[in-house]
Amino acid sequence: METELVNYCYVIMETFEIQLLADRFQIEPLENGLYRIMEGEHKVGVIFPEPDGDQVKWATQDELDEGFVQQIGELITEHNM
């Protein structure tokens, strides 16, 4: 289990699962604000949030569909609330 110091509080960074339509993905939070997306043993890609005015836009350096990245990012945000 990894931890990250955020605003003087320790946040436990554990892998969690999300569902997008019929697909289930495991999300592995990484220490540097990145999120690794896994589908079973297959690495789908890595995404990260970027400020966009007063909103957050999700981005990647992998070859993933922009809509998919945004949907997964929104589910991550929802999970973290």
Instruction: State the pTM of this model.
Output: 0.79
Q: Can you give the pLDDT at residue 8?
A: 39
> CA 1 to CA 69: how far, in whole Å?
25
Contact 75, 18 (CB under 8 A): yes
Low-confidence ranges of the chain (pLDDT < 70): 1-12
N- to C-terminal Cα separation, the chain: 20
**By residue range, what is the domain housing residue 49?**
2-80
In this predicted structure, what is the pLDDT of residue 32? Answer: 87
Counted domains in the chain: 1
pLDDT at 12: 54
